């Protein structure tokens, strides 16, 4: 009768050592057997053929136990799976392997920062040889970035392209989402930006855009950095001119020659129409009337809806609330654009929260006469509406010059504690 042997391996992405639980058998553990079947369970995004290819195993080949262990470790080290298990079943001359996997969630965008010699479509196609179904979004594991870095390095080497691939993790400042960034370093290729073209731009010219923020021309090209500018500073320029439906497309770069630098960058622009101010709506507001809020916002019907002016008006509204003790007031402004009239209405939902009053004042860690003098200067009395802007004025008027004269220590700071149960604010000044 044939002797069947089972081997188990559990690999999680946080595990750095592979442990095999091997039952004692009379046959040597490293017997070479013919692999007759590879089965995979637990798949949703990948196929059994994908897993077999990534493992390096294929039916008809000769395998050993340690070879199967290495294959399972190889699967785990791709970072495509949260866990990998295997079952190794043998007869006298043959073996079958069953992998049970748990696929890793996929949500982190991948940016190829300066792979100019390889269009995205070609690069993604090449990556799919080692990352099945890759569509620009990465699995959320610690192992995958290093695995993909190795894949990209192999792609460069196979195409005789110079440079080393470097991985860093960045944060998209617009979405606050993490981004896996891969860039080529030490390639010997001049990647300095010669010029930026904005096809479709009319109201805002390239010179306006390039003068608006961080330098681009003359700097090494970075898709991530340029994209951040397009969705931040550059887009703000259009909204400051009333182009609230303006869109700036994906940056692209191509090498140029004979100009003393390396690449030309193109960012397609769709400006859209100019929108003018219509009115604001203030649901949830009760401390101030709509008329008073409109006055603070300071927008006039028919004026161009300038984004920065609207933002400053909202800051004034927020400031008014905190001066009246509404420390946690929140404004949620949602523009509503009327394509027919090209007018803008903003619905500004106000969540006022509780009104806070002054509680106790304590001044410690300084001589008694200094504490008494500062206490006398403090104008907010217990029960007064707590004006959250008063503290900074008090620091400037009464504390800073005393710190400069050595009357209070450098570490002398206020500690503000709002009591959510009683809606009072207790303030303590003391050395940190």
204 — pLDDT class (breaks 50, 70, 90): confident
Q: Is the pLDDT confidence value at 14 over 80? A: no
Looking at residue 259, its pLDDT comes to: 66
Q: Is there a single domain that holds both residue 310 and residue 281?
A: yes
Collect all residues with Cβ–Cβ distance below 8 Å to 319 and sequence separation of at least 6.
389
CATH number of the domain that residue 43 is part of: 3.10.20.310
CA distance 12 to 104: 11
Question: What average pLDDT score do residues 109-135 get?
Answer: 94
Domain that holds residue 410: 357-431
Looking at residue 210, its pLDDT comes to: 79
pTM as predicted: 0.77
Q: Where are the beta strands (DSSP E) in 93-230?
A: 94-103, 106-112, 137-139, 164-171, 178-185, 193-197
Chain position carrying tokens 């149960």: 421
CA distance 284 to 260: 59
Q: Is there a single domain that holds both residue 281 and residue 294?
A: yes
CA distance 198 to 264: 11
Q: Is the pLDDT confidence value at 27 over 70? A: no
Residue 340 domain flag: yes
Domain boundary among 145, 166, 185: 185
Q: Is there a single domain that holds both residue 200 and residue 164?
A: no
Looking at residue 34, its pLDDT comes to: 96
What is the domain count for the chain? Answer: 5
Q: Is there a single domain that holds both residue 93 and residue 13?
A: yes
Q: Which two tokens stand for residue 114?
A: 């300066």
CATH number of the domain that residue 178 is part of: 3.10.20
Q: What does the pLDDT look like over 147-181, one tens digit per residue?
A: 999 999 999 999 999 999 999 999 987 788 899 99
Q: Is there a single domain that holds both residue 346 and residue 286?
A: yes
Residue 1 domain flag: no
Q: What does the pLDDT look like over 405-415, one tens digit per residue?
A: 999 999 999 99
Residue 395 domain flag: yes
Residues 267, 205: contact at Cβ < 8 Å? Answer: no
Domain boundary among 270, 290, 315: 270
Looking at residue 176, its pLDDT comes to: 85
Q: Is the pLDDT confidence value at 22 over 70? A: no
Element (H, E) at 252: strand 252-255
Higher pLDDT, 23 or 278: 278
Question: What average pLDDT score do residues 29-57 get?
Answer: 93
Residue 358 burial by CB count (10 A; 0-12/13-18/19+): exposed, middle or buried? buried
Domain boundary among 270, 299, 329: 270
Q: Is the pLDDT confidence value at 25 over 90? A: no
Backbone angles phi, psi at 380, to 5 degrees: -80, 120
Residue 392 domain flag: yes
Q: Is there a single domain that holds both residue 347 and residue 290?
A: yes
**Residue 298 region, left (φ>0) first, then alpha (ψ -120 to 50), else beta?**
left
Q: What does the pLDDT look like over 304-337, one tens digit per residue?
A: 999 999 999 999 999 999 999 999 999 999 999 9
């Amino acid at each position: 009768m044939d002797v069947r042997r089972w081997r188990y391996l559990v690999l999680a992405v946080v595990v750095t050592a592979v442990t095999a639980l091997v039952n004692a058998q009379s046959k040597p553990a490293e017997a070479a057997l013919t692999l007759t079947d590879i089965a995979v369970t637990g798949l949703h995004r990948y196929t059994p053929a994908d897993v077999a290819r990534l493992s390096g195993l294929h039916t008809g080949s000769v395998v050993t136990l340690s070879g199967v262990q290495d294959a399972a470790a190889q699967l785990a080290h791709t970072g495509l799976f949260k866990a990998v298990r295997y079952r190794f079943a043998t007869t006298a001359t043959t073996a079958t392997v069953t992998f049970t996997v748990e696929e890793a969630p996929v949500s982190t965008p991948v940016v190829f920062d300066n792979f100019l010699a390889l269009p995205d479509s070609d690069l993604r196609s090449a990556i799919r040889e080692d990352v099945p179904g890759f569509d620009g979004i990465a699995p959320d594991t610690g192992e995958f970035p290093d695995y993909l870095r190795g894949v990209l390095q192999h792609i460069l080497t196979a195409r005789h392209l110079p440079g080393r691939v470097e991985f860093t993790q960045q944060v998209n400042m617009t979405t606050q989402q993490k981004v896996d960034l891969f860039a080529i370093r030490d390639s010997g290729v001049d990647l300095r930006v010669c010029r930026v073209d904005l096809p479709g731009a009319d109201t805002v010219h390239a010179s306006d855009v390039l003068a608006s923020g961080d330098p681009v021309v003359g700097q090494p090209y970075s898709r991530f950095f340029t994209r951040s500018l397009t969705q931040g500073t550059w887009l703000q320029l259009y909204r400051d001119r009333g182009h609230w439906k303006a869109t700036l497309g994906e940056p692209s770069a191509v090498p140029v020659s004979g100009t003393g630098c390396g690449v030309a960058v193109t960012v397609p622009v769709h400006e859209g129409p100019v929108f003018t101010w219509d009115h604001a709506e203030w649901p949830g507001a009760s401390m101030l009337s709509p008329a008073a809020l409109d006055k603070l916002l300071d927008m006039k019907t028919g004026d161009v809806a300038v984004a920065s002016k609207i933002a400053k008006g909202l800051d004034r509204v927020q400031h008014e609330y905190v001066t009246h003790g509404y420390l946690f007031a929140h404004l949620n402004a949602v523009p509503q654009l009327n394509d027919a009239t090209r007018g803008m209405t903003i619905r500004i939902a106000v969540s006022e929260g509780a009104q806070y009053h002054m509680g106790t004042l304590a001044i410690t860690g300084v001589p008694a006469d200094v504490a008494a003098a500062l206490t006398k200067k403090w104008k907010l009395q217990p029960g007064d509406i707590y004006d959250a802007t008063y503290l900074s004025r008090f620091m400037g008027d009464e504390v800073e010059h005393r710190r400069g004269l050595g009357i209070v220590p450098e570490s002398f700071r206020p500690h503000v504690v709002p009591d959510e149960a009683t809606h009072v604010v207790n303030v303590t000044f003391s050395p940190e």
